[in-house]
Amino acid sequence: MRKTIGLLSLLSIGFANNSIAQAKQEWNTIFTKINQEVLANSNAYTSLKIASETIGHRLTGSENGKKAEAYAYNLLKSYGFTDIRYQPFEVESWSRGTLSVQIGPSLTQLKTVKSVSLAHSPVASDVSLEVVDMGNGVEDDYLAAPEKVKGKIALVYLGTLPGSKAGTPSLHRSEKTAIATKYGAKGIIVINTADKGVLLTGTASVTGKLIPIPAVCVGKEDGLALKAQLTTSPLFTHIQMTNHSGLIKARNVIATIKGKTIPNEKIVVGGHLDSWDLATGAMDNGIGSFSVLDMARTFKALKLQPARTIDFVMFMGEEEGLLGSRAYVDAAIKDKSIDQIRYMLNYDMTNDPKGYHTSDAESKDLFVAIGTIANQLDSNFKNTFSVGAGLHSDHQPFMLHGVPTGGGAGGSLPKGAGPCYHADCDLFSLVEDKGMRNTVRFNTMLLYGIADAPELKAKHFTDEETRLFLIKNNLKEPLTIAGEWRWKD
């Protein structure tokens, strides 16, 4: 339901409110045009459909990955961008080969269990060993019996098991693999959290490099049955796999709109274009990256030029260790432009947002002011606001170097698509046009508002401020496990 109350009257009444005071009055007209343009002409859904049908998966380093890079480049060019470029980087690519996982009460009584390799597993592995239940696979599970898993295969739950003690951390599969390796495991079997036997892929490496032990995922039902069996009798497994790895070249795709009055300050907005290879990556991250492409289209269609420069970035290599965003940040550090980046907005599986989120509480007034205009245009946008920080997407390298981050929040995946994350059911049939249009229109408004704001209270942290921020947000432990905690405390 659309609201018809004009923002100008709201502004004239409410400018004493600091949030509203953060908005420029001309944003009302600009955001109205953004709203109309996206509702009438959005190409996000259509372009993702074409890419899904003509390219398929978008695995970094594969021929499909190269096709996706070129598709995004040519799409941006068709939207009228002339300041557009590839940012090449070299990565250690991984792709799956063969896999057999057999489990049973003895090495002579084995049955095949449906499974999938986790990325960065060894190029070849053939192990026959006992399986031990390591619960959630967090540090406390190993400290309780430090020798239990040594020379064996760890069975761990991907999320947090029901009945776990309060405060049990929910670690990434790569962090759980690193902990298992630390305590001497010779392999790891990860139990997925999705029902109906859905298998999950993704990296098991905290570094983006090959890991020394085989890592596989099994379905929830099979995995929980194995846990139950281990309470009464031992289990053994034979894991045999081959994979492929080697240095390849990949490319971020970057399109730039130069700022009108503060061109040396930059806002980076991006999403990862790459996907895993079990399906077409519609949810992860077609809905995010193709929404960013359509945000770029909208800027060009309306000839929008805010005060600050904007880089629209299609990152490759996110799934294999944030490789493209690391390359972008490394280049910014090298050419000393990192301090010019005032904000990074990341769209990873964002769909139908109802509000905004950020890592920086000082941004509340600005974000709420932008959202107030969006809410006046469509009351279905609730203008929620949240502050927090997490890891494992392309905002992370920026955040670790003090850049404020944010994006859309409060939405949900369409058609119950959550269990298809990283799975063989992540197909375009899950995508809904409406959700993508909402991502594009409300976040084009957010992007324009940040890029055009008279003042950005969010500051670029110093190294010490970054350290304290990460500690405050309980990120020291996972970053230490990943080998990314660069401070000596």
Give dist(CA 434, CA 441) in Å, integer: 11
Planar angle of CA 221, 144, 189, nearest 5 degrees: 30
Give per-residue pLDDT as tens, 287-322. Answer: 999 999 999 999 999 999 999 999 999 999 999 989
Element (H, E) at 69: helix 63-78
Give dist(CA 140, CA 133) in Å, integer: 13
pLDDT for the residue numbered 207? 87
Residues in the chain where the model's pLDDT stays below 70: 1-21
Rg (CA), the chain: 23
pLDDT for the residue numbered 60? 94
pLDDT for the residue numbered 3? 38
Q: Are 239 and 296 in contact (CB under 8 A)?
A: no
Closest CA to 269 of 226, 311, 329: 311
Q: Assign domain 7-83+258-458 to its CATH architecture.
A: 3-Layer(aba) Sandwich (3.40)
pLDDT for the residue numbered 489? 78
pTM score over 0.95: no
Phi-psi region of 483 (alpha: psi -120 to 50; beta: other; left: phi over 0): left
What is the rounded (10 degree) CA torsion for 29, 32, 34, 39? -160
Q: Count the neighbouring beta carbons within 10 Å of the beta carbon of residue 301.
A: 18
Q: Are 86 and 252 in contact (CB under 8 A)?
A: yes
Give dist(CA 49, CA 63) in Å, integer: 19
The CATH 3.50.30.30 domain(s) of the chain lie at 94-245
What distance lies between CA 73 and its chain's CA centroid? 21
CATH number of 94-245: 3.50.30.30
Give dist(CA 383, CA 388) in Å, integer: 16
Amino acid identity at 186: K
Half-sphere exposure of 399 (CA within 13 A, CB side): 26
Closest CA to 450 of 265, 255, 264: 265
The CATH 3.40.630.10 domain(s) of the chain lie at 7-83+258-458
